[in-house]
């Protein structure tokens, strides 16, 4: 695991392969290791950069409240540190929200965008208090409640559920709570989709229980150069449940 010191924050990341820079951003409440199944399928064509977002994996936690744009700024600082000007930016679910925040703030640094099990819309108003209440409970009680409830929503595969539960239990409570608050406060990104001149690969499981396929279709309809792959039998974790199809779609962004 590599560490970059960025304005006082230690950000952990893995790097594999060579070719077009591709940043793979994990979702909530996980870390970069969710991408491991697709690394062998991507590393011959991409310079893969797999960060742990602030508050997750081996990156530092931050105690003050932050936004998804702050997380995107961490990634821009990581690219600066690696002396990479432009990259393909792909994110899973919350990682997709961070990718969209990156595209809004640094459009000239984006060569292509990947949205895996993600969406462009903000939370509906009724979801925000639920996120904030969960953040409060996680801060007080730890990540146990999330680790119990989330795996069944992520995938129908029992072995994968067990592995994801262990992964969630390893995440710091400050990071899980911070991400919940950041997601609750994120803006709607629909307004920027039609401005993208780069290709957008949208990868979505038809059995996703967290973000419905309609959200992915809406993104496809709003971008100029979109490519949507709908995966039969996959839930919210296509990079683990359908590695080949996910990697093929990301490979179109080379
Ligand atoms: C994720 O998988 O990153 C989150 O569940 C997305 C969300 O809660 O909106």
The answer, yes or no, to whether any atom of ligand 1 lies below 6 A from the CB of 27, is yes
- Spatial neighbors of 177 by CB under 8 A, at least 6 apart, are 135, 136, 138, 139
Atom of ligand 1 minimally distant from the CA of 119: 9
DSSP reduced 3-state for 230: strand
- For ligand 1, pick from 95, 99, 183 the residue to mutate: most ligand atoms within 8 Å of CB: 183
pLDDT of 197-210, one tens digit each?
A: 999 999 999 999 99
What is the structure's pLDDT at 201?
A: 98
Q: Cβ distance 86 to 111 under 8 Å? A: yes
Asked, as a colleague might, if the bond just before 48 is cis with ω within 30 of 0, I would say: no
pLDDT of 172-192, one tens digit each?
A: 999 999 999 999 999 999 999
The closest of 16, 18, 12 to 38, measured between CA atoms, is 16
The answer, yes or no, to whether any atom of ligand 1 lies below 6 A from the CB of 28, is yes
Joined together, the tokens standing for residue 169 give 């239990």
Q: Which strands sit side by side in the sheet containing 226-231, from one edge to the other? A: 2-6, 9-16, 46-51, 20-25, 87-92, 110-116, 200-205, 226-231
Output the CA 115–ligand 1 centroid distance in Å: 12
Joined together, the tokens standing for residue 147 give 């680790």
Atom of ligand 1 minimally distant from the CA of 153: 5
Output the CA 58–ligand 1 centroid distance in Å: 20
- For ligand 1, pick from 25, 56, 93, 116 the residue to mutate: most ligand atoms within 8 Å of CB: 93
Joined together, the tokens standing for residue 152 give 């069944």
Name which residue sits closest to atom 7 of ligand 1, judged by CA: 94
CA dihedral 114, 116, 117, 123 (to 10 degrees): -40
pLDDT of 25-64, one tens digit each?
A: 999 999 999 999 999 999 999 999 999 999 999 999 999 9
The answer, yes or no, to whether any atom of ligand 1 lies below 6 A from the CB of 210, is yes
What is the structure's pLDDT at 234?
A: 98
What is the structure's pLDDT at 7?
A: 85
What is the structure's pLDDT at 53?
A: 98
Task: Please tell me the pTM assigned to this model.
Answer: 0.98
User: Could you give the residue ranges of the DSSP H alpha helices within the chain?
Assistant: 39-42, 68-81, 94-105, 127-141, 144-149, 151-154, 158-169, 173-184, 190-193, 213-222, 238-241, 243-251
């Amino acid at each position: 695991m590599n560490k970059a010191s960025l304005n006082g924050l230690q950000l952990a990341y893995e790097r594999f392969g060579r070719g077009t820079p591709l940043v793979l951003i994990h979702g909530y409440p996980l870390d970069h290791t969710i991408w491991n199944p697709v690394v062998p399928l991507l590393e011959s064509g991409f310079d893969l950069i797999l960060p742990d977002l602030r508050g997750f994996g081996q990156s530092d936690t931050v105690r003050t409240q932050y936004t998804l744009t702050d997380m995107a700024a961490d990634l821009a600082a990581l690219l600066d540190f690696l002396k990479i000007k432009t990259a393909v930016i792909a994110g899973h679910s919350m990682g997709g929200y961070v990718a969209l925040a990156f595209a809004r703030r640094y459009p000239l640094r984006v060569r292509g965008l990947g949205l895996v099990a993600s969406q462009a819309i903000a939370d509906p108003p009724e979801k925000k208090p639920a996120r904030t209440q969960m953040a409060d409970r996680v801060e007080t009680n730890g990540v146990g409640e999330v680790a119990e409830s989330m795996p069944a929503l992520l995938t129908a595969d029992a072995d994968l559920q067990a592995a994801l539960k262990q992964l969630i239990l390893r995440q710091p409570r400050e990071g899980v709570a911070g991400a919940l608050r950041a997601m609750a406060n994120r803006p709607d990104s629909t307004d920027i989709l039609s401005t993208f001149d780069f290709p957008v690969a949208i990868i979505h499981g038809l059995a996703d229980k967290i973000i419905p396929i309609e959200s992915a279709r809406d993104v496809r309809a709003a971008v100029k150069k979109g490519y949507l792959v709908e995966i039969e039998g996959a839930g919210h974790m296509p990079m683990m449940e359908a590695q080949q199809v996910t990697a093929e779609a990301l490979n179109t962004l080379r």
